Structure 1
Amino acid sequence: MQAIHQIGANNSGFDKFLTLRFYKTFVRPVFEYGLSIINTTKKTFKLLEKAQDNAIRKIFHGHATSSTQAIKHMNKIATMEERKMVLQAKNIYRTFQLPNTTLIYTMLRQVITTRDTHFKKLQKRNEIWQSLPLPPANSRTLPIFITEKLLREAINKYLKKNMIQKQCEQFYVGMCRSNIANDPIMYLPMHNFERSRIIRWRMGWLPGRPTTCKNCDTTLNNNTTRNHLTQCLKLHQILQVPIIVTSPIDYILNQLPTKQTSNRIKQNYFIQKWIQITKIFNKIETLCHTTEDEMNPDPEDISPLIHWLKPPTAN
């Protein structure tokens, strides 16, 4: 991480989305070395997951105990346990697809007749592999009929199941989009301070440590918690979101498009919502900041996202 940090993956260099791609390309494979062929203990996985969390915290300048669950979900970063399952399932599949003239294929003919082998344990303990339509345990038939499509579907089903479980158990992950993909807020064009505020909101770092709310009667001793600010700033009414929605801001963020549209109604809708979201975050930053001055950007500095949502028409 230090080497990547020095070449530009830092706070004043590459954006966070690109830096995370550097992490997944160069750093994570170091953590994953050997996972596809060995059975590791829970203690080992705890250390590997801690190493991954520390790398992500370094990218986002988080403190030692800050949560990384939401940012991993938003950037399609699997846990080390999930990576082990996927890598081992792919390795088992490739092993069975080798030509019958290879040494490993010849070895497999003897492995299936042996009671206990390391390779059999890898198959038995792999949740993804066990979900495939395999031959009976006492059969001598090799599962060469397993196709890449079947394996890909099994992997997606496994990751989807884990994602649903995380969204049920972890509040900030539950507020994100319910799909396994990069969240558009990581790559859509916008100012750095706009993206920073949204990411910090998603991760639970904004509003941050509760302070006395300056927007309402200070004698009531209301703190700037997420729930209080939602009610105090009347976010449901401003954003025109149903009252049953827990987080109006996340509700709108989850609607942001992943690609440009030529529909004028949709363009105007998202532009209006983005202007409202920007004003809300300015207000939240002001309430949670020590300064008494309201934090408003230059009105002539139009957000790049607005230009992207409604590109100029060609003459």
Structure 2
Amino acid sequence: MVPVNSLLFADDVAVIGSAKSVKEMLKLCEDHSLSLGYRWNPLKCAVLNHPTSSSSSSGSTQLTLYGTPLPLVDKFVYLGMPFVKTGLSAASVLPLRSPGVLQLMGILNKIGVNRQGFSLLLCSRIYATFVRPKFEYGLAISKFSAAQMKEIERLQDRCLRMMVGGHATSSTLVIKHMTTLPSMHHRIDVLTTRFCLRARSLPGSCLLSLLSTTLPVSRIKIHLEKNPLFLALPSPPPSSDARLKTFFRQYRERQVTSIVTSTTQVLLRACRPALVVDPILYVPATRAERSLLVRWRLGWLPGKPEDCPCGRDRRSRRHFLECDLIPSFLWSDLPRCPPGSYPIDFALSSLPLGRSARCPPWWSSLLLMLWHIQRLCRPDRYYAIDSSPGASWYSSSSRSPD
């Protein structure tokens, strides 16, 4: 084995090689530190893959620092990444990250990243900026099994449920689609692709380049460069970060369109088949109005199929189309939808994009209809009716120039 020694900083030093060569390099490290007046703590060091199978050889290859034997371990966290005898331990990454991720999400949840606090759009951006990077660290250089990938997705799902107050098994597909949050599988593909492109552009004198050409098997070649996003790169690959981001977005847009149009999940299929933030998250609206819109998208309205106060059937999307307690003129006010589409879903997907967009004429009818549906779903509660539903957007549109 070729001995490798990193630069001798005061901490985070890795020495790689055979037992004999490592023993010699440790002596050099020891002399170097003493000559500059600093010392490492031997008890904070660790030895992986020590040849302890033979008792006769274990004594001659015992590794020490300043005369203190170094502890032999089966696992060690180095620079925030768990290592075992075979190298990086992908199975240990998530158990290492999860407690800190959930703790941070819990803190943010208490100060406003929740259904009663900030808007869903702001909550999603806070999550993507502060929480997600905590468990993205190291994902680009790890090879995960299908089961481990599901666990990573579940960790993100737990964070999103804390954000909206969903129960433990509620789906987060619509939340991610509305806010344009990608799946963790896609995020790992993006991070891995960036890492592989960066590794290819490194000078030949860099440690990673030297290791890749020296080792008989390169982890980058056999694992990392086989992700579908990297394989889909054009030849030559994008020459700038802006072009690379454009490629990532176009790739994901095709994925999103395909998933939304082919899925059998009613709520996801009801969403706009495009990679855009759902307008219901940012158009001018009161807190109560936006809550109605989001809860409809998430399927919390109508919720469980219990008996409708009209006495004719159970509450459901189908029943609301013919329920006597919902004024029929509200349905006719909505934009005409194509066969197979639900009027409310089609209306929401027909909302204009952009924060300066003008309010559609049927906006108040849509909000009033959702108010009636809310009353039917929670007949035991009192919901005050707004005398002018949608006034926030109407007034904003009247002030904006044509």
Q: TM-score range by the shorter chain?
A: 0.7 to 0.9
- Matching residue within 143, 148, 152 for 1:44: 148
Q: Which has the higher strand share?
A: 2
Residue identity in the other structure for 1:122:
H
Matched, 1:6 2:97: no
Q: Distance in 2 between matches of 1:302 and 1:125?
A: 50
Matched, 1:97 2:188: no
Q: Which residue of 1 aligns with 2:60?
A: none
Q: Distance in 2 between matches of 1:9 and 1:105?
A: 43
Q: How many residues are treated as equivalent by the alignment?
A: 291
Q: How far is 1:3 from its partner?
A: 1.6
Q: How far is 1:207 from its partner?
A: 0.6
Q: How far is 1:178 from its partner?
A: 1.6
The percent of aligned pairs where both chains have the same amino acid is: 30
Q: How far is 1:61 from its partner?
A: 0.8
- Matching residue within 151, 163, 170 for 2:256: 163
- Matching residue within 378, 384, 393 for 1:305: 393
List gaps (5 residues or longer) in structure 2.
Answer: 1-104
Q: Which residue of 1 aligns with 2:131?
A: 27
Q: Distance in 1 between matches of 2:391 and 2:138?
A: 45
Q: Distance in 2 between matches of 1:286 and 1:55?
A: 30
Q: How far is 1:58 from its partner?
A: 0.9
Match of 1:290, SS state, is: coil
Q: How far is 1:250 from its partner?
A: 1.6
- Matching residue within 291, 307, 328 for 1:212: 307
- Matching residue within 224, 229, 232 for 1:131: 232
Superposed, 1:253-268 pairs within 5 Å as 253-259=348-354, 267=358
Q: Which residue of 1 aligns with 2:162?
A: 58
Q: CA-to-partner distance for each residue in 1:37-71, whole Å, 9 max, x for gaps?
A: 11111121111111111111111111111111101
- Matching residue within 117, 136, 143 for 2:218: 117
- Matching residue within 280, 292, 298 for 2:369: 280
Q: How far is 1:313 from its partner?
A: 6.7
Asked if structure 1 preserves the Cα contact closer than 8 Å seen for 2:257 and 2:273, the reply is yes
Q: 1:272 to 1:69 in 2, by over 3 A?
A: same
Q: Distance in 1 between matches of 2:239 and 2:150?
A: 33
Q: Which has the larger displacement, 92-101 or 60-69?
A: 92-101
Return the TM-score normalized by structure 2: 0.65
Q: 1:105 to 1:117 in 2, by over 3 A?
A: closer
Which runs of 4 or more aligned residues in structure 1 lie more than 6 Å from their structure 2 counterparts after TM superposition? none
Asked if structure 2 preserves the Cα contact closer than 8 Å seen for 1:260 and 1:308, the reply is no
- RMSD across aligned positions (CA): 2.8
Q: Distance in 1 between matches of 2:239 and 2:401?
A: 47
- Structure 1 or 2, whichever has the larger Rg, is 2
Q: CA-to-partner distance for each residue in 1:64-106, whole Å, 9 max, x for gaps?
A: 1111110110111111111111111111112223355544445
Matched, 1:67 2:155: no
Q: Which residue of 1 aligns with 2:97?
A: none
Q: CA-to-partner distance for each residue in 1:274-314, whole Å, 9 max, x for gaps?
A: 11101110111111122386x44231576322222322679
Asked if structure 1 preserves the Cα contact closer than 8 Å seen for 2:367 and 2:389, the reply is no
RCO comparison, higher one (Cα < 8 Å, 6+): 1
Asked if structure 2 preserves the Cα contact closer than 8 Å seen for 1:207 and 1:284, the reply is yes
Residue identity in the other structure for 1:127:
P
Matched, 1:189 2:189: no
List gaps (5 residues or longer) in structure 1.
Answer: 135-142
Match of 2:139, SS state, is: coil
Q: 1:7 to 1:120 in 2, by over 3 A?
A: same
Q: 1:296 to 1:241 in 2, by over 3 A?
A: farther
Q: Distance in 2 between matches of 1:236 and 1:50?
A: 38
Asked if structure 1 preserves the Cα contact closer than 8 Å seen for 2:225 and 2:231, the reply is yes
Return the TM-score normalized by structure 1: 0.81
Q: CA-to-partner distance for each residue in 1:13-60, whole Å, 9 max, x for gaps?
A: 322221111111111112212111111111211111111111111111
